[in-house]
């Protein structure tokens, strides 16, 4: 069995976040670049299954700038077997339709039985890439799973629903996305870090995948972008016996009650 995990490098959520007001894109140099936290849980799920079953290979798949190679190497240290990186200047600012097309192209090229992804990335928060990839691949998909169970022929898990949980199961090949309720990722040990340096990491361009970024297919169009206004100081109420009344009047004025 071959499991592919979609890996994404994102700006550190603890750092500064800025938009480039000229391009309308996230300024990815504003903070450190790290492995998306939800991605690390997906990798942990794949590696844990590989450790408990025979003949399971784990491949990492990512689309990103040159810096993503370092992130992939760090992720390989968690126990994955190989990495596949799409690097092409034409992909700068790619929307979700193009991203899904590229990722599906790599997955079809390397071949896999199961694709695991995080449900929502911490930067774009689109939450639809796993479904779009599954559609491109013609595979079953099960999204936002809080648990994950993998066999040689099926994948199953529980999804939160109104008033309870729903158990879903799909025949392989399939695409699944997982939530933050899955276990935290392991910290790579020294042995894993050293082994990661020798593991295969393939790099692809759009030409390698036979994809034209300028093809006449649906692509998002950004009309304008503006920076959020700076936060202003709030109104301070000093209690002189009428604080409750003044607070109620303030909330009413702001239409909060």
106: left (phi over 0), alpha (psi -120 to 50) or beta: alpha
Given the structure tokens 């979609």, which residue do they identify?
Answer: 6
Per-residue pLDDT at 34: 81
Polymer length of the chain? 257
CB atoms within 10 A of CB 123: 15
Given the structure tokens 């450790």, which residue do they identify?
Answer: 51
| Pairing between β-strand 57-63 and β-strand 2-6 as defined by DSSP bridges | parallel
Per-residue pLDDT at 141: 93
- Output the six-digit token pair for 50: 């590989």
Per-residue pLDDT at 92: 81
Q: What is the mean pLDDT of residues 166-187?
A: 92
Coil/strand/helix, residue 131: helix
Asked if pLDDT for residue 227 goes beyond 80, the answer is no
What does the DSSP 8-state code read for residue 26? Answer: B
* Alpha-carbon dihedral sign for residues 188, 194, 195, 201: positive
Per-residue pLDDT at 124: 72
pLDDT band at 235; cut points 50, 70, 90:
confident
| pLDDT above 90 coverage of the chain, percent | 49
**CATH homologous superfamily for the domain 2-209:** HUPs (3.40.50.620)
Cα 198 versus chain centre, distance: 25
Per-residue pLDDT at 220: 66
- Residue 173, preceding peptide bond in cis (omega within 30° of 0): yes
Asked if pLDDT for residue 140 goes beyond 90, the answer is yes
Per-residue pLDDT at 190: 86
Asked if pLDDT for residue 114 goes beyond 70, the answer is yes
For the chain, give the mean pLDDT. 87
Round to whole Å and give the CA distance between 70 and 74.
Answer: 6
CB 64 within 8 A of CB 94: no
Domain positions in the chain: 2-209
Per-residue pLDDT at 30: 65
pLDDT band at 222; cut points 50, 70, 90:
low
**How confident is the model over 20-74, as pLDDT tens digits?**
666 666 666 666 778 888 899 999 999 999 999 999 999 999 998 898 999 999 9
What does the DSSP 8-state code read for residue 90? Answer: G
φ and ψ at residue 132, rounded to 5 degrees: -65, -40
pLDDT band at 233; cut points 50, 70, 90:
confident
Asked if pLDDT for residue 217 goes beyond 60, the answer is no
φ and ψ at residue 176, rounded to 5 degrees: -130, 155
Q: What is the dihedral of CA 70, 71, 77, 78, to 10 degrees?
A: 180
Region of poorest pLDDT, from 39-43, 63-67, 75-79, 213-217: 213-217
CB 149 within 8 A of CB 156: yes
Edge-to-edge strand ranges of the sheet holding 114-118: 140-145, 174-178, 114-118, 2-6, 57-63, 82-86, 201-204
Per-residue pLDDT at 131: 94
Asked if pLDDT for residue 218 goes beyond 60, the answer is no
| Pairing between β-strand 164-171 and β-strand 154-161 as defined by DSSP bridges | antiparallel
Asked if pLDDT for residue 11 goes beyond 80, the answer is no
Round to whole Å and give the CA distance between 139 and 122.
Answer: 25
């Amino acid at each position: 069995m071959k499991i592919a995990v979609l890996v994404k490098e994102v700006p550190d959520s603890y750092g500064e976040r800025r938009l480039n007001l000229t391009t309308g894109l996230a300024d990815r140099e504003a903070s450190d670049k790290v492995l998306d936290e939800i991605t690390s849980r997906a990798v942990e799920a794949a590696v844990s299954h590989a450790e408990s079953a025979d003949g399971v290979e784990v491949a990492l798949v990512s689309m990103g700038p040159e810096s993503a190679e370092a992130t992939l190497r760090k992720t390989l240290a968690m126990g994955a077997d190989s990495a596949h990186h799409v690097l092409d200047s034409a992909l700068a600012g790619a929307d979700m339709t193009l991203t899904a097309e590229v990722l599906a192209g790599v997955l079809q090229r390397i071949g896999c039985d199961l694709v695991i992804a995080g449900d929502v990335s911490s930067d774009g928060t689109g939450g639809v890439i796993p479904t779009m990839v599954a559609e491109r691949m013609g595979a079953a998909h099960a999204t936002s799973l809080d648990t994950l169970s993998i066999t040689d022929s099926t994948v199953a898990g529980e999804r939160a629903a109104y008033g309870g949980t729903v158990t879903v199961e799909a025949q392989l090949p399939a695409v699944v996305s997982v939530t933050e309720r899955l276990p935290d990722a392991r910290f790579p040990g020294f042995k894993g870090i050293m082994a990661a340096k020798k593991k295969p990491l393939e790099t692809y361009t759009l030409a390698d995948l036979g994809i034209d970024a300028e093809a006449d297919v649906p692509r998002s169009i950004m009309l304008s972008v503006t920076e959020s206004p700076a936060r202003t100081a709030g109104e301070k109420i000093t209690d002189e016996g009428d604080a409750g009344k003044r607070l109620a009047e303030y909330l009413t004025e702001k239409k909060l009650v």
